[in-house]
Structure 1
């Protein structure tokens, strides 16, 4: 962790962290609402979404350098 030159710097850092937490919550809330609306409208099923999440997770956690 970086050192803070003053206690005021630390307070500002903690405030920014709190703001990021609030923004993250709002983004997740909107994302969840949009997904529920798309499922309700029949654009895709919850099972299709879960399958796609698993597929993307595998891609993201795999090695960026495929073995030949």
Structure 2
């Protein structure tokens, strides 16, 4: 819902950038710095990161509930 106000192509690009961070593994910090230098760390990119973190937390909570 938070991303609804952004053009679909921009959201897709932001998601691709975040996916590249995730695939970077040990080099993630370097990738983030490079994106910052290129001006790619926009509000939209940060919102996509926030959404992914939120989903991951919810999945962790579901796992905890299932294992109880």
Calculate the TM-score normalised by the size of structure 2.
0.42
Calculate the TM-score normalised by the size of structure 1.
0.42
The structure with higher relative contact order (CA 8 Å, sep 6+) is 2
Q: Which has the higher helix share?
A: 2
